[in-house]
Structure 1
């Protein structure tokens, strides 16, 4: 049974293998052009990637390396509503004295370094606040990193020689701070003091630029923006306030690095304006934490000092956000830090836990929409922009970036998806599969992408392989329905006048056509009949329609089990069913199929008998005969009516075996050749040796009981005792045989063959035969 589908598959591969390969290749090329040429797949790929991030790269514990100090709405409200805070720090944007206080508190709390996701490129109205903030940064020694913006109107900076001494003019000491206010907590604004030395332009360029290079000679990404005229124009860094040059540990780019749909998924680490190189703010901080003097890109590697990270060949990488900001990182309100600074000044207990900031990188950024720093990420369209800085820092400290799989891997997967689609659909040609496969393919590719993303932080494309697979599926379906249907139509038209429609469809599916002029071939014939059908039908002479319904139900039940095993229904003769196994299609296991079909039919009829009994219908006790032999199969009949069937002694014996069940009390009787072909797969009972009318040679017949290994211990015991009695019977020891059978009949009274053989033993005891050879004659 398993061999036939495989032969069909092999035949279809031989016939259409080149077409399958061609479809897969064309579908892959088209999908590749859409991905790499027209970029039509960018939007669906972004969607699939975002869903994968939300499914497979979430649920991790909050970071133990990064803490986010949030400038949230609560902070804004509490400062604006507190008169003393408002007097000292103003409303947003706050005076630099507030940031000086925050730096002091974070230093006291043991923070490792502070990354401020903002820029300070406009001088305060009171310059003493800027100078005071710079003074606090120098005095605390807190590593503080500040963002810098770029603008198309900003002037270009002079080239920086990183090997030359730092040309930084040291500002003079900041003016003294005025005495604290009456509550001894909030300092007043810094008073005017002596002018400080303004850093030279070279010094400012040196503070903003950072060495970055590629070992492969490829250029770094350029600082460009799209002008109103639709042209890419250069951007230059905007200088921070001079007072912070030399006080802030480092500056880094904080421009939004968004994809074409406005979502932040990637970062590019380093840029060039054609004159100098600049790095993003997290890179600048990480370089100092590792003692690195430059950032180097080598192939797929980013190097800072002794540490390396995998990146894409163009020097960029996708961000592993790990989930929404509030779930991924410990969040502390800015007002809480400010309150602890107040408490610390007064010597009061602090509100935040002692280890909140100890040894951690602190990232300060706005989280409320009012600060205009809300960006789109794969997790939300309204995520705070600081989420990007946090994700990059967390990855630098304890993770890995998400990189793209090599283009050859993506194309390879696309080709495999297309080839699998073409082969599967052109081989199976099954309508439910044609509908379900494209959906299953896309889902399977999504699961594959998610698994690779989770296990290796590698982004494997989903949209391009999906398009290739769907395109190949459509082409395969077109082939099936436009080409294969033409072949089917031809076969159906050519043979529908000669063969039953079901048989025609069966041949179409298997692509095996019989010889209509007939041929000799070994087959297994199946005959079944209902016991006492004449009496059965007599009950419905007043209601023949009911008889038809009952008979149709019975025939449908029996036929279904036979067709399931690959049988070919020959004909119905009233309640009798004739079925062929091994024709018109070759079936090497036709005897095994017939045995399975007979057992299945027996089981199905048993269930049907129970149902009929409950409904008050007559019993449909069924007897079955099987015989394997070489018969002549083909079309037989007249010009007016003919059908595909088989003739020969083998067919006659099968019919007689079905009728002989009555004499032996059995249900399924099989001939010797059927037993020989299927004996390794079935359990039987040898019933007798019989001689068919017109034949001199006796043959052994068997009762089919079950498939191999499915005989119960009680049945095995009955069969053993039957065989023991049969041997005594053949030796004409009828009394001894009857004794064995009587004991077994008492134990298994429902066993028909035991009872029938016991009757024969008793009959021969009373009237011994004149000539006994142990062979029974089948007269009809």
Structure 2
């Protein structure tokens, strides 16, 4: 049964594969068109799936070993305000640069590798210019590399075009110097774009109205002493979520890099930023990027999970303790050597400072989360990049093909619903998650999900609106005659019955109950019980035949007519018919035991099998037809069933059946017979068992019978009778031995006038 099921599935796949592929290709093409046009909400779905995959599959364990965050958090705001000395020296937030002087000095003393200021703009002079000078002096004296974030604004003065070099020459802000030119040389960065256009610095004041932005340079003392400057653009996606970064921008005149790139350029010894294809090169570092020069950020988790965080006020306290000659880390929550050899990023985390942003890991993340992720990705040498579109398209096609093939092959309503609702999107999501986790590659999920869903709908439409119409007719017509799995096989092989019929070789099965008239007489006072018993008999015999692929032709009272090899063209129809006949006899043997236990009369079933070319089809009208076969072969099968009575056998098969199934069955050659109306004699056989299943005693009986049959055909009747008589004493229940013995004894007493060894079967 399992093999038949697989055969049906393979047949469906073979016959409908072009249609399945057509559905898949069309679905993929529609989904790709919608993706490119931004239809069906696919970009929104993609962003949602990407965020969930990022948070599910890429969350890192442990904190960064390279970066420490110095946070302008609420505890620092409160600590500076509540400390009279700090409040006097630094004022309210934003604090004067005297505070940052102490912070940088303390970080230098604790061995920090470099400092990046994000969200702390240094573009306006302090009211006390001495604090600006003091901050610039500490940058010079400590030698600690410091990188400042640079903001942009539409009303800022544009900088002139320059030929940038890195590191830039010391700026000249003396009397008569071109200050704007000096600023441009410091802030611009050499970028080679390989022909691609850099994104333009601009802002959207009103919906649809954009205008260029220009850099707001830091104050002159810091331009001269800081080691680098970088943009701190927000770079949100259309839905406002921070997911990606660009490494360089232009204001139409010069190129400017982002703050993480400005710092990383010095770490990697870079004199320029170079884009080439999908590669970004920064000194010794080479990274994969998207075709437009962007890259998606691998956040690794929320800021508080990824980085050690120290409040600014803790560093102020550490500086104060150091001035007093006390250990600068005791009781401040600063672990020994926390800053040694690490990059320090300073930025606001307090909610009231207006730097809250949305990331895949949270709806209220500090703005510096983006710069931290970009810096860490630069240091690790790996961002998340989009897979080439053809990869996602191929994945979409593969999922569409899988959906169409699966649903159009299995054709299960339950599977259709499960695959449609539960598996397509999770499968796309799982592949996206695996690509992010294993390769930090963003394979699209919304496009494949849409292609898969459209393919599901196309497959379901094909199943229910087209393929099932003709199949439903066949199922209804043959449901009472054949096993459902064989009907499905017939449909998939496109072997649909025709009213005008066809000629093919098949094996006909006839069976009848011996002594049914006597059997039925015992129920003359209870005819309902007779009907129940007969139905039980027919059901069990029919089931045995259907399990072997037979097609029930008709019931004639207690007789069963069945066809093997039609309407399904089984090439092993003779073997199937033999197996079915033996299985039917086994079911009858069980019924006999049940009847005996109930005190009911004993019954036997006689069976005739014959293989021949017959005319088979639906004989009848458009309104009512009967699938049957016609021809001499059918008549011979019927005659063989009746001839069992004359030979004392149970299953008699014709010569063609024996020829086709001889390698699979055990038989006894019974005789050569001549059918009424036919001059040609045929050899008939008794089917005894499947190959290798005949008991040794019965095998010996058959062997002795064949010896006697050979003597009989030589008209040595006395010798044949001697062999048969001796064997009958050992196997007294063997009917064919008793029948041939009686015939030999008859001919021994009354020799025939004309003997040819052939017996004529009566009508």
User: Does the TM-score normalized on the shorter chain lie above 0.5?
Assistant: yes
Q: Is 1:119 equivalent to 2:113 in the alignment?
A: no
Which residues of 2 match residues 35-184 of structure 1 at below 5 A? 35-38=35-38, 40-77=41-78, 92-120=93-121, 121-162=123-164, 166-169=169-172
**Which residue matches 1:33?**
33
- For 1:251-262, list aligned pairs within 5 A: 251-262=229-240
Report how far residue 690 of structure 1 moved. Answer: 2.9
Q: CA deviation at 1:455?
A: 3.5
Distance 1:342 1:725, change over 3 A: farther
> How far did 1:225 drift?
1.2
Q: RMSD of the alignment, in Å?
A: 5.4
Output the TM-score relative to the length of structure 2: 0.76
1:227-306 alignment, distance < 5 Å: 227-228=205-206, 230-306=208-284
- The 3 A distance-change label for structure 1 pair 419 and 640 is closer
Q: How far, CA to CA, are the matches of 1:651 and 1:126 in structure 2?
A: 117
Identify which range, 201-210 or 595-604, moves more after superposition: 595-604
Q: Distance between the aligned counterparts of 2:306 and 2:602, measured in 1? A: 71
Q: Is the 8 A contact 2:508 2:562 kept in 1?
A: yes
Kindly provide the CA deviation profile for residues 307-348 of structure 1, in whole angstroms up to 9, marking residues without a partner as x. 211111211111222333333444445555555555555136
Q: Is the 8 A contact 1:147 1:251 kept in 2?
A: yes
Q: Give runs of aligned pairs for residues 357-372 of structure 1, distance below 5 A.
A: 357-372=339-354
Pick closer, same or farther for the CA change 1:646–1:155 going to 2, 3 Å.
Answer: same
Instruction: Verify the 8 A CA contact 1:664 1:687 in the aligned structure 2.
Output: no
CA 1:277–1:643: 2 relative to 1, 3 Å: same
Aligned partners of 1:593 and 1:323: how far apart in 2? 65
The answer for the alignment partner of 2:428 in structure 1 is 445
The answer to whether the Cα contact below 8 Å between 2:27 and 2:455 also exists between their aligned partners in 1 is yes
String of CA shifts for 1:590-646, please: whole Å, max 9, x gaps: 345557777998999999999x99xx9999999796845123423457999751113
In the alignment, structure 1 residue 400 sits paired with structure 2 residue 382 = yes
Picking from 547, 552, 567, the partner of 1:584 is 567
**Where do 1:403-482 residues align within 5 Å?**
403-415=385-397, 417-418=399-400, 431-432=413-414, 434-439=416-421, 440-475=423-458, 477-478=460-461
Aligned residue for 1:346, secondary structure, equals coil
In structure 2, the residue matched to 1:307 is 285
Give how far 1:456 is off. Answer: 3.2
Any conservation in 2 of the 1:264–1:376 contact (CA below 8 Å)? Answer: yes
SS in 2 for 1:375: strand
Q: For residues 396-424 of structure 1, what are the alpha-carbon distances to aligned partners after superposition, in whole Å with 9 as ceiling and x for unaligned? A: 12242222233334444445555665666
- Could you list the per-position Cα deviations for residues 245-277 of structure 1 after superposition, in whole angstroms to 9, with x for gaps in the alignment? 233221211121111011111111100001121
2:703 to 727, 733, 739: 727
What whole-Å deviation, never above 9, does each CA across 1:530-571 have from its counterpart, x for those lacking one? 9999979978976949975x9878877776776676543323
| Counterpart Cα distance in 1 of 2:524 and 2:78 | 92
Q: Show structure 2 runs of 5+ residues with no match.
A: 676-680, 709-722, 749-755
* CA distance 1:27–1:519, shift in 2 (3 Å): closer
Distance 1:275 1:621 in 2: 106
Unpaired runs of at least 5, structure 1: 172-195, 707-714, 742-753
How far apart, CA to CA, are the structure 2 residues paired with 1:102 and 1:660?
114
Deviation at 1:292, TM superposition (A): 0.7
Output aligned runs, 1:507-656, within 5 Å: 510-525=493-508, 544=528, 566-573=549-556, 578-591=561-574, 627=609, 629-630=611-612, 631-636=614-619, 643-647=626-630
Structure 1 residues 770 and 597: CA distance shift in structure 2, 3 A: closer
Q: Which residue of 2 aligns with 1:387?
A: 369
